[in-house]
Amino acid sequence: MKDILLAEVEQLKLSYASDLERVLEGSKIRYYPNPAAPARKSNKYSIHFAPQNDDDRDAFIDLLTDELLLRALSPTGELEDLWQRLLEEIALQDKLRRHLDKLQH
Q: Compute the distance between CA of residue 33 and CA of residue 40 in angstroms, rounded to an integer.
A: 9
Domain ranges of the chain: 2-104
Distance between CA 89 and CA 34 in Å, rounded? 17
Q: Is the dihedral of CA 7, 9, 10, 16 positive or negative?
A: positive
Contact status, residue 103 vs residue 13, Cβ threshold 8 Å: yes
CA distance 25 to 72: 15
Given this model, what pLDDT does residue 14 score? 64
In tens digits, the chain (105 residues) has pLDDT values of 767 766 666 676 666 666 778 877 889 999 998 888 888 999 999 999 999 999 999 999 999 999 999 999 999 999 999 999 999 999 988 888 888 788 776
Other beta carbons less than 10 A from residue 72's beta carbon = 8
Can you tell me whether residue 31 is helix, strand or coil?
coil
pTM of the model: 0.79
> Could you give the residue ranges of the DSSP H alpha helices within 1-105?
2-26, 54-70, 79-104
